[in-house]
């Protein structure tokens, strides 16, 4: 089956500095789509980014990610972290169903 | 107005009892899902329905039974509750389960505590 790996469970970064959240995957499906979901405290997960095109950069709310099928990765990045970015981030792969990674909790400190 | 309604928001139950979690979506979607989130497993897929038919079941226990009385309803019945069932249960929906780009929208969740 599909699997998604987020290597960091916790990431802490200082406001204004860049942040990168890692996501790698394994799948046997040819037609796949990828999502980054963000979940703020006591709220439901919501889509932050989505992509299905290899080597194309996708951007939203200052975050960006590029799907690299050659390395099976879809890392999330932001050049300047904000306090309001503190949340739980999930990478997800759609193959036969939506498979989530374990999540990365991002804390942005002043 | 909320597009996906989950009721109740909070639920406390005793071990061995039975509860039903309600989910209604007003997005006009054809596919609906249940997920569970706990400290042990951050976000875990449980079921998917498409046009009121069960498409995928990743829940090992038969104590969890989804029920779809209407196209936009997908309730979750849990019997013989255990403390390990304590979690937040999210309902989600998407336009079409079959499309690879089908973005799922999540409801606010029901936080279940089993004593």
| Residues lower than pLDDT 70 in chain B | 1, 97-101
* DSSP reduced 3-state for A85: helix
pLDDT digits 0-9 by tens, B66-95: 999 898 999 999 999 999 999 999 999 998
**Chain B contact set for A90 (CB, 8 A):** 42-43
Closest partner residue to A97 (CB to CB) among B56, B101, B106 is: B56
**Of A22, A31, A75, residue with least CA distance to A52:** A31
CB-based burial label for A2 (10 Å; 0-12, 13-18, 19+)? middle
pLDDT digits 0-9 by tens, A57-106: 999 999 999 999 999 999 999 999 999 999 999 999 987 778 899 999 99
- Give me the pLDDT at residue B101, please: 57
**Chain B contact set for A97 (CB, 8 A):** 45, 48, 56, 58
* E-assigned strand segments in B1-115: 4-7, 10-13, 19-25, 31-37, 44-50, 53-57, 64-67, 75-78, 87-94, 105-106, 110-114
Q: How far is B104 from chain A (nearest CA, A)?
A: 8
Alpha-carbon distances, residue B84 vs A85, B2, B33, B40, B113 (angstroms): 31, 30, 21, 10, 9
């Amino acid at each position: 089956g599909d699997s998604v790996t987020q290597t960091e469970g916790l990431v802490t970064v200082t406001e204004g500095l860049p942040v990168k959240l890692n996501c790698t995957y394994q799948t046997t499906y040819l037609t796949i789509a990828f999502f980054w979901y963000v979940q703020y405290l006591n709220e439901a997960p919501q889509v932050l980014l989505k992509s299905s095109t290899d080597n194309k950069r996708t951007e939203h709310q200052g975050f960006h990610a590029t799907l690299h099928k050659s390395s099976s990765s879809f890392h999330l990045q932001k050049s300047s972290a904000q306090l309001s970015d503190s949340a739980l981030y999930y990478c997800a792969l759609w193959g036969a169903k939506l498979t989530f990674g374990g999540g990365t909790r991002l804390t942005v400190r002043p | 107005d909320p597009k996906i309604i989950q009721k109740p928001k909070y639920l406390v139950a005793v071990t061995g009892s039975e509860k039903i979690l309600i989910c209604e979506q007003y997005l006009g979607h054809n596919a609906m899902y249940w997920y569970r989130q706990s400290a042990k497993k951050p976000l875990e897929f449980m079921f998917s329905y498409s046009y009121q038919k069960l498409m995928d079941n990743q829940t090992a226990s038969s104590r969890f039974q989804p029920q779809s009385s209407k196209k936009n309803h997908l309730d979750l019945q849990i019997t013989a509750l255990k403390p390990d069932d304590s979690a937040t249960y999210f309902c989600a929906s998407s336009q079409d389960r079959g499309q690879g780009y089908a973005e799922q929208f999540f409801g606010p969740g029901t936080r279940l505590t089993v004593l």
